[in-house]
Amino acid sequence: MESVTLNNGVEMPVLGFGVYQVPPEETEEAVTNALAAGYRSLDTAAAYRNEDAVGQAVQKSGIARSELFITTKLWIQDNGEATTTRAFETSLQNLGTEYVDLYLIHQPFGDVYGEWRVMEQLLSDGAARSIGVSNFTPDRLVDLILHHDVVPAVNQIETNPFYQRAVENQLMTERGVRHESWAPFAEGKNNLFSDPTLSAIGGVHGKSVAQVVLRWLIQRGIVVIPKSVRPDRMAENFDVFDFELSPQEMASIADLDTGTSQFFDHRDPEAAARLSGMRLD
């Protein structure tokens, strides 16, 4: 498995397995199958409500904890300094682990300053090997960097052929923040899996559209966490290290960019209000 080095020296697999929208009752089996397929990076979140199932699969796998890279995320806290530690400890308990490899602020709302101060301490204590953010727009990311000691190791944002985030990618590269993609397949929107450009490139390499998309992201230096509950798809998604896209193919995919989210814009006031109103308790 190829890896990237985060800004604090921690190695992170460039390809992981995500469990967003995997029902809790199906998560343990899905993670078990993903580990059997070779995945060693797992991405979950408190908001997914399946951390405990991820932990159960890990514990039953027999794989040494040191061989795994586990990411989870902190949901919106209105009083970050008072509640973040408790939320983190709940995640550790659910996962059945003494530490996480990456802890992310899930959304750029609520008391993110208070959350980050606590997360900096978790990093210092070794409870989190690295800390980062998710869904932070460039302005919010730079603001966080400028007012704190620790630069986020990762910013996990929607990134797919229809929303490529080139400007954000350049900014993160300049600031030492690793770009990580969620929704690499745009959940199939815009008929991604039958797109003529992606299909033609896949035909040249004997690969599926999904494999082309994952390879395109990896060649951009972007960490990616595809999700599937089907073992055959898990294996297919994992099989992307034996071919390379040409500069011309990369350019053809670049032309697919619409510059628009396939889901919602985190700068939208309605989106901010909706997400901030979601509570896990």
Residue 164: closest CA among 59, 266, 77, 250: 250
φ, ψ dihedrals at 147, nearest 5° = -110, 15
In sequence order, the 6+-apart residues with CB closer than 8 A to the CB of 177 are 7, 132, 141, 145, 151, 152, 153, 154, 155
Question: Count of CB atoms within 10 A of residue 185's CB?
Answer: 21
- Provide the token pair at 157: 């944002």
Q: Are 227 and 235 in contact (CB under 8 A)?
A: no
Task: Determine the residue type at 125.
Answer: D
- C-alpha to C-alpha distance for 91 and 123, rounded to whole angstroms: 15
Annotated active-site residue 99? The verdict is no
Could you tell me whether strands 17-18 and 41-43 are parallel, antiparallel, or unpaired per DSSP bridges? parallel
Closest CA to 256 of 196, 205, 188: 196
179 is in an annotated binding site: no
Exactly one of 39, 48, 103, 163 is catalytic; which is it? 48
Instruction: Detail the residues annotated as belonging to a binding site for substrate.
Output: 106
Instruction: Detail the residues annotated as belonging to a binding site.
Output: 106
Mind telling me the catalytic residues?
48
